[in-house]
């Protein structure tokens, strides 16, 4: 089967660093994406890793290890507005069109 695992909840304080892990088991893996979703809103794209290593975009970084089927999202200098749900998603090329397979999401609560 295909599955992704990530922690359900994470709590941290403003200014801190938090890491959200994601392990996956899928077929036709093409890359790992991360999305942020605030309550009542739509998912917004944060980052994408197709190759092993670290990708940095401002305060957010994402890492992938394909041999370990593992990735993480690193959020630095946390701000209150970072409180949201974060989803890892595998790009799968199984089938003719490919699709995203989402994890269950991690709710991040940033406290003052």
Partner 1 sequence: GAVVSQHPSRVICKSGTSVKIECRSLDFQATTMFWYRQFPKQSLMLMATSNEGSKATYEQGVEKDKFLINHASLTLSTLTVTSAHPEDSSFYICSARLGPTDTQYFGPGTRLTVL
| Interface residue list for partner 1 (CB under 8 A) | 30-31, 33, 35, 41-45, 48, 87, 91, 93, 95, 97-105
In the complex with partner 1, the residue whose CB is nearer, 33 or 61, is 33
Q: What's the closest the beta carbon of residue 100 comes to partner 1, in angstroms?
A: 6
Pick the closer one to partner 1 by CB: 9 or 56.
Answer: 9
Q: Are 4 and 26 in contact (CB under 8 A)?
A: yes
**Taking the complex as a whole, how short is the minimal distance between the CB of residue 8 and partner 1, in angstroms?**
10
Least spacing, CB of residue 68 vs partner 1, in Å = 22
Nearer to partner 1, 14 or 52 (CB): 52
């Amino acid at each position: 089967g295909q599955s992704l695992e990530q922690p359900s909840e994470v709590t941290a304080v403003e200014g801190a660093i938090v890491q959200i892990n994601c392990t996956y088991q899928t077929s036709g893996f093409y890359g790992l994406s991360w999305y942020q979703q605030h309550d009542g809103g739509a998912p917004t794209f944060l980052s994408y890793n197709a190759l092993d290593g670290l990708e940095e975009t401002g305060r957010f970084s994402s890492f992938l290890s394909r041999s370990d089927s593992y990735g993480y999202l690193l959020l630095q200098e946390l701000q209150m507005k970072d409180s949201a749900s974060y989803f890892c998603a595998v790009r799968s090329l199984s089938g003719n069109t490919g699709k995203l397979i989402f994890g269950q999401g991690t709710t991040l609560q940033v406290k003052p």
